[in-house]
Amino acid sequence: GENVEQHPSTLSVQEGDSAVIKCTYSDSASNYFPWYKQELGKGPQLIIDIRSNVGEKKDQRIAVTLNKTAKHFSLHITETQPEDSAVYFCAAFTVMDSSYKLIFGSGTRLLVRP
Amino acid sequence: NAGVMQNPRHLVRRRGQEARLRCSPMKGHSHVYWYRQLPEEGLKFMVYLQKENIIDESGMPKERFSAEFPKEGPSILRIQQVVRGDSAAYFCASSPPARSSYNEQFFGPGTRLTVL
């Protein structure tokens, strides 16, 4: 089945710097990759996603890149702000036995130092 | 347009009791997913349901756990005879009918279950 690995597990950056989180997946048939942000005590929030027919997608300060050949995708946050501090999860969409499901990475705790 | 609703937000049970967690999907969504999150860990898939139908329960323990999504009313995740290891945050997500190419899931705020 699909397996998603996420690195790093923790990331500390200075306010204004960029942050990059990387994920790899194992199922070459996966074709949809969302990213979620989870703040303390809250549910995960979808912040950006990418489908396999594009290599990059950008939304203001966040961007996601996808390399299907290497089976990895990354989240880039530029000009980080303290409110970006949260846990970020990547996920890969997989179809298995008529079931659609998201397989999540283990999460990255991002701390933006003011 | 209300998002995914879950209740209760916090639930305390003693060992051996039953826990019932409820999830109301977003308006227009007919698919519900349940996930479990242990402290400092990621989200683990438990079960995927459509109205009156369990599509995939491969992530749910075979004993003590059950889920349903009736024609009317919320989806229910039921844990019988809870043990301390069941303490976790349980998240529900909903989506429109899934397509083969993508599946946008929107999460509720979660129910934090504590077993004493």
Per-residue pLDDT of chain B (116 residues; tens, 9 = 90+): 579 999 999 999 999 999 999 999 998 888 999 999 998 788 999 999 998 999 999 999 999 999 999 999 999 999 999 999 999 999 999 998 766 556 789 999 999 999 99
Q: Give the A window 42-81 contacts with B, CB below 8 Å.
A: 42-46, 49, 51
Nearest CB neighbour to B91, from listed A43, A46, A107 = A43
A106: tokens are 């283990």
Q: How far is A66 from chain B (nearest CA, A)?
A: 15
Is a pLDDT exceeding 80 seen at residue A97?
Answer: no
The residue of chain A with its CA nearest to that of B109 is A43
Those residues whose C-beta lies under 8 Å from the C-beta of residue A66, and which sit 6 or more positions away, are A33, A50, A52, A54, A55, A56, A72, A73
B107, A107: Cβ pair inside 8 Å? no
How far is CA B29 from each of CA B24, B25, B57, rounded to the nearest angstrom? 10, 6, 19
Distance of CA B107 to the CA centre of its chain: 10
Is a pLDDT exceeding 60 seen at residue A18?
Answer: yes
CA–CA dist A105, A6 (Å, integer): 5
CA–CA dist A89, B26 (Å, integer): 22
A49, B104: Cβ pair inside 8 Å? yes
Kindly report the average pLDDT of chain A as a whole number.
93
Chain B residue set in contact with A, beta carbons under 8 Å: 4, 6, 33, 35, 41-45, 48, 55-56, 58, 91, 98, 100-110
